[in-house]
Structure 1
Amino acid sequence: MSSKVIVAENGQGRYQQQVIAGQHHLIADEPASMGGADAGPAPFDFIMSGLGACTSMTLRMYAERKELPLTRVSVELSHDKVEIDGAQRDRITRHITLEGDLSAEQRQRLLEIANKCPVHRALSQSIQLECNLLD
């Protein structure tokens, strides 16, 4: 698990960011419709990518431990805004495709496990966020 991610403007575009996560170098940007150059995923795309990856990896680990005949996992995610009690809230929807000769009970259990992945748990609970300025 990467313990530190560094994000900084890269000078290549209005909103473009260099993202360094361990040995991995990525680009983040806003889409053209938001004034960016669409040179990389937008911030919510990174959130959804993390959730999708965690979901798929968690399901793979569980299936291996339980020796389930899961041959492939695919997770499609989307983000939108919904109104709840008069306030706009973010909503992420996951559509999970499970391939393999799985029974209805195994498929249901895998759905339960998907909702226990660490990123799902973190996003569905209140996260304590701290922000400090450095000199």
Structure 2
Amino acid sequence: MQVTTHRGAGPLQQVIEIGPHQVLSDAPVESGGEGSGPAPHDLLAAALAACTTLTVNLYARRKGWKLDEVLVTVDHGQEGAAYGFQRSIRLLGDLGVEERERLLDIANKCPVHKTLSGQIAIRTELV
């Protein structure tokens, strides 16, 4: 899948094209943007939250477990020399202790979590 970005209407607004979808990103007003969309780091945190929810739901459904809802919150920001993510997961439904522990394990195996906690290679070319 290819993602493309280009300048939007505002001074720092970016239009992100992901296949047939468009998403806006912007800087907050205090940073010179208009706040017309989430900042890039917010999109990264949202990807982690969405992937976690999706992965846990798929696993529970496959197992036939009574998971009614997964609520994921991700706080994020610079922590010294590192960028940190604090993920909180709330599982709603008729689940036993072992099922809940297994779902936490599965959450840590979501593809975005694995990508962010693994080694990342970024290659850049000027075209």
Scaled by the length of structure 1, the TM-score of the pair is 0.91
1:63 aligns with 2:60: yes
Instruction: Provide the rounded CA distance (Å) in 2 between the counterparts of 1:33 and 1:99.
Output: 37
Q: Summarize the alignment of residues 94-105 of structure 1 with structure 2, pairs less than 5 Å apart.
A: 94-105=87-98
Look up the match of 1:116.
109
Instruction: Provide the rounded CA distance (Å) in 1 between the counterparts of 2:115 and 2:71.
Output: 21
Look up the match of 2:3.
5
Look up the match of 2:118.
125
In the TM superposition, structure 1's runs of 4+ consecutive aligned residues that sit over 2 Å from their partners are: none
CA deviation profile, 1:23-75 (whole Å, cap 9, x unmatched):
11111000112111000000011101111111000001100111111000111
Indicate the SS of the match to 2:78. strand
Instruction: Provide the rounded CA distance (Å) in 2 between the counterparts of 1:51 and 1:76.
Output: 9
Across the aligned residues of Structure 1 and Structure 2, the Cα RMSD in angstroms comes to: 0.8
Indicate the SS of the match to 1:129. coil
Scaled by the length of structure 2, the TM-score of the pair is 0.97
Give aligned pairs, total: 127
Gaps of 5+ in 2: none
1:44 aligns with 2:37: no
Corresponding letter in the other structure for 2:100:
R
Instruction: Provide the rounded CA distance (Å) in 1 between the counterparts of 2:5 and 2:58.
Output: 30
